[in-house]
Amino acid sequence: MMNSKWYLAAPAAALLLLSSAACGGSSDSGGGGSTTAPVNLGAAGGYVILAKSGIDTVPTSAVTGNLGISPAAAAAITGFGLTMDATNVFATSSQVTGRVYAADYAAPTPANLTAAVSAMETAYTNAAGRAAAVTELGAGNIGGMTLAPGVYKWGTGLLIPTDVTLSGNASAVWIFQVAQTLTMSSGARVLLAGGALPKNVFWQVGGAVTLGTTAHCEGVILGQTAITLQTGATVNGRLLAQTAVNIDGSTVVEPAP
């Protein structure tokens, strides 16, 4: 059953989106009947955490996938207890199932990271430029809602104080364009239903991203500034920040391809 508050307050376009999902419809965005294409991450898709100025953990975190930082050097990766590989191309950490790369490591790492950071910035711009089918949903508060696939836009910050469900099939795509901050309250969760996949969820955020303690998010976070996971927060997706990423006893798992 639809949340009555959501039904009354939602714009007509959003109701069409939700109706399509509820009726087992396609993954159309609702914008002119066209299907939303996923954001191409390019070389940035090789990293579960990618940042330009710093990556910090308060142990013990568990990260599945590669970490990368550029143009900052390895000294800006803190809390991971890095062990340099004999090749000097990458490092390892007991908190990372994958490899850790930094701009001051041996070739070809610097060039690879330059390409990845460029791809991250291109992906951010691409996500921000998509035509939105729904704008200012919930006046920036989407707690308790079930959202069908499509492109959603806010000119303000976005708050997720309680669980949000993204309902769609395995080819469904969501793009959330947030001009200011994205904040998930402690314990709040983004949930996937109907076969939806985290690799097809994109959060394009102009301001800081903060996941409260034990919050859970699904999808790729493309942050123009910092991404912070407070104690015990978890993500199935990627953290791609144009400044720094800070995690605290967190679990970050890259999505299946």
Per cent of the chain over pLDDT 90 is 86
Task: Say if CB 213 and CB 186 are below 8 A apart.
Answer: yes
Asked whether residue 227 is assigned to any structural domain, the reply reads yes
- CA separation for the pair 226, 209 (Å, rounded): 6
pLDDT in tens, 38-48: 999 999 999 99
Whether 19 is in a domain gets the answer no
Backbone angles phi, psi at 213, to 5 degrees: -55, 135
pLDDT of residue 35: 83
Amino acid letter for position 232: G
Residues in the chain: 257
Do the domain assignments include residue 239? Answer: yes
Report yes or no on 46 lying in a domain. Answer: yes
H helix intervals, 93-245: 109-128
Specify if 25 maps to a domain: no
Task: Give domain status of residue 64, yes or no.
Answer: yes
Q: What is the pLDDT of residue 20?
A: 37
Nearest residue to 142 via CA among 36, 217, 248: 217
Does the predicted model carry a pTM greater than 0.85? yes
Domain total for the chain?
1
Helices (H), 31-151: 109-128
The whole-chain average pLDDT of the chain stands at 90
Residue 23 within any structural domain of the chain: no
Q: Show pLDDT as tens, one digit a residue, over the chain (257 residues).
A: 333 333 333 433 343 344 333 333 333 333 323 489 999 999 999 999 999 999 999 999 999 999 999 999 999 999 999 999 999 999 999 999 999 999 999 999 999 999 999 999 999 999 999 999 999 999 999 999 999 999 999 999 999 999 999 999 999 999 999 999 999 999 999 999 999 999 999 999 999 999 999 999 999 999 999 999 999 999 999 999 999 999 999 999 999 99
Range of the domain at 133: 4-12+33-251
Whether 20 maps to a domain, the answer reads: no
